[in-house]
Amino acid sequence: MIGLFGGTFDPIHFGHLRPALEVFESLALDELRFIPSHITPHRDQPARSTEDRAEMVALAIRDQPGFVLDTCELERDRPSYTVDTLALMRERYGQNKPLLLIMGSDAFAGLPSWHQWQRLLQLAHIVVMARPGDFPDSAGFPGDYVESRRVDDVADLRQRAAGSILRVPVTQLDISATNIRAALKQGKSVRYLLPEALRDHIHSRHLYN
Ligand code: ATP
């Protein structure tokens, strides 16, 4: 099974990395692909270029076998809709391979506002990692959309290529890129919030000054 983890990653931090590793191990994924968004339809365009954000991801994951940077959204010169990325992955991996779209519970709560969101589960499973905070689980979805697709076991994901929702318990790390950017702006230390090599890289390139 292939895990697909999209994000702005401005910058990537331990709140992404540790839960992603736990998902990777507990679901025994073949690989977990980190996909930096390029043209972000739902939020202001990040001040760091996609290339800079991708480079930070590459640096952060370079020592972890099975973690892969995927710049497919960078190659599309239009809004980075997840549905388009999943369609591309379906072409790449064929109809039978289980694809797992991985996201935090905050992102999942907002899913019904995503472009063509109902197609997402036609193309992939969704794996939700609990993130600290209070995020309604199924409130924004019509009827029993979430409950009728929920599974409790990773084995259920292997049965089919797409269509199920699994919650995976992960270590709760209340870290956000917003808070990291704010700390950097105020000249505060971001040590222990992201990998040390990435911290050095951010400072030497003056990425957030
Ligand atoms: P920002 O603060 O700029 O909004 P972020 O820290 O939320 O950024 P994103 O790149 O927007 O990070 O998030 C990418 C994905 O990672 C989303 O699915 C999000 O839910 C998930 N995620 C981010 N931080 C955490 C965390 N601390 N724990 C679990 N999931 C997280």
15 lines ligand 1 (CB under 6 A): yes
177 lines ligand 1 (CB under 6 A): yes
Question: What mean pLDDT comes out for the span 140-165?
Answer: 96
Q: Give the residue, out of 131, 180, 185, 194, with the most ligand 1 atoms within 8 A of its beta carbon, to mutate for a pocket test.
A: 131
Q: What percent of the chain has pLDDT over 90?
A: 89
103 lines ligand 1 (CB under 6 A): yes
pLDDT beyond 90 at 40: no
pLDDT beyond 90 at 44: no
Q: Which band of pLDDT confidence, cut at 50, 70 and 90, is reported for residue 55?
A: very high
19 lines ligand 1 (CB under 6 A): yes
> Cα 31 to chain center, whole Å?
14
Cα gap 143→114, rounded to integer Å: 18
Question: What mean pLDDT comes out for the span 153-162?
Answer: 96
Question: Residue 4 — φ and ψ, nearest 5°?
Answer: -125, 115
Q: Which band of pLDDT confidence, cut at 50, 70 and 90, is reported for residue 137?
A: confident
Q: How far is the CA of 174 from the centre of ligand 1 (A)?
A: 10
pLDDT beyond 90 at 126: yes
Q: What percent of the chain has pLDDT over 70?
A: 100
Q: How far is the CA of 144 from the centre of ligand 1 (A)?
A: 26
Question: What mean pLDDT comes out for the span 82-98?
Answer: 97
- To 10 degrees, what angle do helices 196-204 and 50-61 make? 150
pLDDT at 103 (0 to 100): 98
Q: CA 70, 71, 75: angle at the middle one, nearest 5?
A: 145
Cα gap 94→88, rounded to integer Å: 10
Element (H, E) at 33: strand 31-36
Q: Whose CA is nearest to atom 20 of ligand 1?
A: 104
Cα gap 101→86, rounded to integer Å: 8
Question: What mean pLDDT comes out for the span 114-118?
Answer: 96
Mean pLDDT of the chain: 96
Q: Give the residue, out of 8, 40, 120, 198, with the most ligand 1 atoms within 8 A of its beta carbon, to mutate for a pocket test.
A: 8
Q: Give the residue, out of 4, 12, 13, 16, with the most ligand 1 atoms within 8 A of its beta carbon, to mutate for a pocket test.
A: 16
Domains of the chain: 2-175 (3.40.50.620)
Helix/strand/coil for 103: strand
Buried b vs exposed e over 142-166: b needs ≥16 C-beta within 10 Å?
eeebbeebbbeebeebeeebbbbbb
Sign of the alpha-carbon torsion through 74, 78, 80, 85 = negative
